[in-house]
Amino acid sequence: MKLSTLLIGLIIVGSTILSLYIPSNWRYFLGFIIGNVIGQITQKMELKKTGGGKMKSKIAYEELPKWKYRLYKTYKQKINIQGLNITLSSYGKVFGMIKKNMVTIKRGYAWDGPSGPTIDTKNFMRGSLIHDFLYQCIREGLLGKGYRKFADQLLRDMCREDGMSWFRASYIYLGVRFFAGFAVEPKQVILKEAP
């Protein structure tokens, strides 16, 4: 038995035993830490097996104070949806579009990257970009809410393509399936007027 497999087993057993003695308000935090540790270990194991987790294509982005990231150059990604022709824009500025089976996200698009109790890693960035863009299209009424599951599955699949471990990609998928439904609901805009 490999040392890393033994270590993962010990972490799972140890955390289960510890959770019996830890107050309930700390269990979520413990689960987050242990999940990320196991995810990082299994990811390193898989990268060794596969030769480094080669990414299909790269995105270029910068970090921002309000949003986490802004796309530095236009990014295109084929997706498995046929027959769509939508454009996401605001005040005359086009941020992205889906035409037939190609998503194009324009330079300057800002998104908040991976959300929730997680760590922003390179193998999460491309998936979070497309996922946030599709969620925004749903929120704006350009895509129906039925596309949410597709967006969540695409996030998982892109993270796996970029070298994320199966374990981590799976718990991320379950996290967005169970807890991200609010993110596709339309945002209420409160307009203010000055005298």
Q: What is the pLDDT along the chain (195 residues), one digit of tens a residue?
A: 565 566 556 666 565 665 556 665 555 555 666 666 666 666 666 556 555 555 567 888 767 666 789 899 999 999 988 888 999 988 788 999 999 899 999 999 999 999 878 889 999 999 999 999 999 999 999 999 999 999 999 999 999 999 999 999 999 999 999 999 999 998 776 767 766
DSSP assignment letter at 103: E
**For the chain, which residues make up each domain, given as ranges?**
3-50, 61-184
- Inter-residue long-range contacts of 83-86, CB under 8 Å, 24+ positions, other chains counted: 84/143, 86/137, 86/142, 86/143
> Where in the chain does DSSP place strands (E)?
61-63, 69-71, 75-78, 84-90, 93-100, 102-105, 110-111
**pLDDT value of position 61:** 75
- 70 contacts 61 by C-beta, under 8 angstroms: yes
Cβ atoms within 10 A of the Cβ of 49, count?
9
Q: Residue 38: its pLDDT value, please?
A: 66
Cα distance between residue 97 and residue 3, in whole Å: 47
The first and second tokens of residue 18, run together, are 């510890």
Q: Round to whole Å and give the CA distance between 129 and 135.
A: 10
Distance CA 93, CA 174 (A): 34
